[in-house]
Amino acid sequence: MLKDKTGVILGVANKRSISWHIAKAADRAGARLVLTYQNERLLRGITELAGQLEREPILVPCDVTDEGQMDALFEIVSAESGHLDFLVHGLAFSKREELVGPFYDTTLENWQIAMQISSYSLSALTRRAAPLMEGRSGSILSLSYIGGERVIPHYNVMGVCKAALESSVRYLAADLGPHGHRVNAISAGPIKTLAAAGVKGFSQMLDVVAERSALKRNLDGGEVGDAALFFLSDLSRAVTGEVLFVDCGYHAMGL
């Protein structure tokens, strides 16, 4: 499905990362990948993961709070491939201590960094990726969560960031549509990831979803990876501005 396509995937931190499941699915589908890592501390882990893929990916440092590193990322993609077919934005961040108390205790400092990494970075990366997608029907995919639409205990500022992210998906879809590119998001159910560990009461969230979702179970990361293939491939060539729930049907239930 992705043979001869080149993609950049941001957000791989460890084997439980949703971005890693998407990377594995894209690799199986034939894509050539560029994986980013935030800092040297994470390089060893991502190098070990990269060795599990069928095709050796290009590893590039990219801290999205650094404009120069984002520029360098796409300069490397241009030099190595000359084009780009898809971009996966799997980034989110908030200080853990601000996901404990009430939302109104969010500090300005954390609000700004959470918004920059979790939401604004999608626009910043899209601005740099779009020129490399010219003439190739590019696809941009981000990762959201139901906390952007509904109140989830202790999700706090991250819920507001996800709401901004989903709105950004729609505006970016309108911007890039005339160029033939698509922008979508997957709203995945709760999965045991490094980021999720920072949300107080996460294990209880898993129990609730398993009990109340339509499929009466929790989500597997590989299922998000498979859903992502639809958006990254030509199968979704007429779909843009969409936020797709991949959560075992939890979002559809009233009680």
Strand order in the sheet with 243-246: 58-61, 32-37, 6-10, 86-89, 139-144, 182-188, 243-246
For residue 114, report the phi and psi dihedrals to the nearest 5 degrees: -65, -45
Can you read off the two tokens belonging to residue 242?
Answer: 């969409």
Q: Is there a catalytic annotation at residue 250? A: no
Task: Give the dihedral sign, CA 252/206/88/28.
Answer: negative
Annotated catalytic residue within 104, 145, 171, 250: 145
Q: Is there a catalytic annotation at residue 155? A: yes
Supply the Cα-derived Rg of the chain in whole angstroms: 17
Annotated catalytic residue within 104, 155, 171, 250: 155
The Cα–Cα gap between 255 and 38 comes to 40
Give the torsion through C-alpha atoms of 85, 147, 15, 77, to 10 deg.
Answer: 20
Quick one: DSSP state of residue 165?
Answer: H
User: Which bin fits 237, alpha (ψ -120 to 50), beta or left (φ > 0)?
Assistant: alpha
**Catalytic center residues:** 145, 155
